[in-house]
């Protein structure tokens, strides 16, 4: 797994349409909607404390901070955190700091919700990271996640196809054996004292022109978009509740 290139992206996080990061940027719009919906459904409104693990340049953290949430974003990429700070909404509560997901620098039960979006497939021990996330989560708090299912279609889409859609895709951006089947993630969550409540599939809008334009030009069209699906074959979102104890 190559996690080193994130430090070198700089403002490309926000303005490069030839790098694979542009797909993550497009995806983040729908993921932010999913997070907002589930926070609201569980009565976590503005002022609630949110931890965004693997926050990158702050696509989700900044959006939630703009909504009035008290957000902390952590990442091991110092360069990404610098960009995140530059794009933080003025006058809002968002704080970025480097941290190790296996040893978070926060007390037990510190956050109402923890996000692990586009993160679990980038580490060798996702179960260990989930246990640590559960530690800092308050009872009845939410863990919200997004990752890839380990299927042949996901290998083609998330590894092979992205090299066709974008001109600049670092080698080992994704590694297929690190993808996680939903049943495996459910077991990891249970070992951490979390109960997975639901899953939601996510995929590109294949039949829309921006998808084919991106494929032909090898640059992500500004209107490239994703949609929710009931199928979990590719990428999938989900959320888990921490048991009270």
Where in the chain does DSSP place strands (E)? Answer: 49-53, 70-75, 94-98, 111-117, 137-148, 194-204, 226-229, 235-242
- Cα–Cα distance between 83 and 94 in angstroms, integer? 13
Distance in angstroms between the alpha carbons of the first and the last residue of the chain = 36
- As to burial, measured by CB atoms within 10 angstroms (0-12 exposed, 13-18 middle, 19+ buried), residue 76 is middle
Pick the residue with more confidence: 115 or 92? 115
- Cα–Cα distance between 83 and 107 in angstroms, integer? 27
Q: Report in angstroms the alpha-carbon separations of 126 from 21, 94, 178, 245.
A: 22, 25, 9, 23
- Cα–Cα distance between 21 and 15 in angstroms, integer? 10
Kindly state the average pLDDT of the residues 131-148. Answer: 97
pLDDT per residue as tens digits for the range 153-201: 998 888 777 777 776 667 767 889 999 999 999 999 999 999 999 999 9
pLDDT per residue as tens digits for the range 47-77: 999 999 999 999 999 999 999 999 999 999 9
- Cα–Cα distance between 53 and 48 in angstroms, integer? 16
Within a 13 Å sphere around the CA of 137, how many CA atoms are in the beta-carbon half? 30
Q: Model's pTM, two decimal places? A: 0.93
Q: Can you say whether the dihedral through the CA atoms of 95, 132, 140, 142 is positive or negative?
A: positive
pLDDT of residue 1: 56
Name the pLDDT band for 207 (thresholds 50, 70, 90): confident
Pick the residue with more confidence: 102 or 168? 102
Q: What is the CATH number of the domain that holds 50?
A: 3.40.50.150
Q: Report in angstroms the alpha-carbon separations of 226 from 61, 202, 213.
A: 20, 7, 15
| 239 backbone dihedrals φ, ψ, rounded to 5° | -145, 150
Name the pLDDT band for 6 (thresholds 50, 70, 90): confident
Kindly state the average pLDDT of the residues 219-228. Answer: 90
- Cα–Cα distance between 143 and 108 in angstroms, integer? 14
- Cα–Cα distance between 218 and 196 in angstroms, integer? 37
DSSP 8-state secondary structure symbol assigned to residue 188: H
Can you give the residue range of the structural domain that contains 229? 5-242
The number of domains in the chain is: 1
């Amino acid at each position: 797994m190559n996690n080193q290139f994130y430090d070198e992206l700089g403002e490309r996080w926000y303005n490069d349409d030839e790098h694979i990061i542009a797909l993550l940027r497009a995806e983040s719009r729908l993921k932010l909607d999913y997070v907002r919906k589930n926070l609201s459904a569980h009565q976590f409104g503005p002022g609630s404390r949110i931890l965004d693990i693997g926050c990158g340049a702050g696509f989700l953290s900044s959006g939630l901070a703009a909504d009035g949430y008290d957000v902390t974003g952590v990442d091991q990429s110092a360069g990404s955190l610098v960009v995140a700070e530059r794009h933080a909404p003025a006058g809002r509560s968002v704080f970025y700091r480097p941290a190790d997901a296996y040893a978070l620098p926060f007390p037990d039960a510190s956050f109402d919700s923890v996000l692990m979006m586009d993160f679990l497939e980038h580490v060798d021990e996702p179960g260990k990271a989930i246990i640590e996330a559960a530690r800092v989560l308050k009872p009845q708090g939410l863990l919200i996640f997004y990752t890839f299912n380990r299927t042949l279609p996901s290998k083609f889409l998330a590894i092979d196809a992205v090299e066709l859609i974008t001109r600049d895709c670092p080698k080992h951006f994704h590694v297929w054996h690190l993808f996680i089947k939903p049943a495996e993630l459910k077991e990891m969550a249970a070992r951490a004292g979390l109960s997975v409540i639901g899953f939601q599939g996510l995929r590109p809008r294949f039949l829309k022109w921006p998808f084919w334009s991106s494929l032909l030009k090898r640059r992500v069209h500004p209107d490239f978009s994703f949609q929710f699906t009931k199928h979990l074959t590719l990428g999938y979102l989900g959320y888990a509740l921490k048991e009270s104890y």
